[in-house]
Amino acid sequence: MGLCLSCCRGSSEELLTPDAELRRKQQLDAAERRRVQNETRGIKDPEKVRRMQQKAQETEKREQEAAKMGNTQPVLTWQQD
């Protein structure tokens, strides 16, 4: 009943975990992949979304500059759906 199964096990090197630095790098890479996947989830064309965001930022910047120039009238904007 008391069989010794040490000969059936692989070498002790297989049981060692990777060093802490390598493990941290792997975890960092995995976290970055998850972040990128979550950012693009549900978006068919990420470039289009980026262009739309950039256009909105430029429009907002122009509105702020117009407000600084003394244009006190509200800016009318047209939005396309």
Here the tokens at position 10 are 């692989």
61 phi, psi to nearest 5 deg: -65, -45
pTM for the complete prediction? 0.41
DSSP 26-40: HHHHHHHHHHHHHHH
pLDDT band at 72 (very low <50, low <70, confident <90, very high): low
Q: Which long-range contacts (CB under 8 A, 24 or more apart) does 22-26 make?
A: none
Domain range annotation of the chain: 17-66
pLDDT band at 15 (very low <50, low <70, confident <90, very high): low
Here the tokens at position 44 are 């068919």
pLDDT band at 68 (very low <50, low <70, confident <90, very high): confident
List the Cα angle 50/54/55 in 5-degree steps.
115
Instruction: Report how far residue 36's alpha carbon sits from residue 24's, in angstroms, rounded to the nearest whole number.
Output: 18
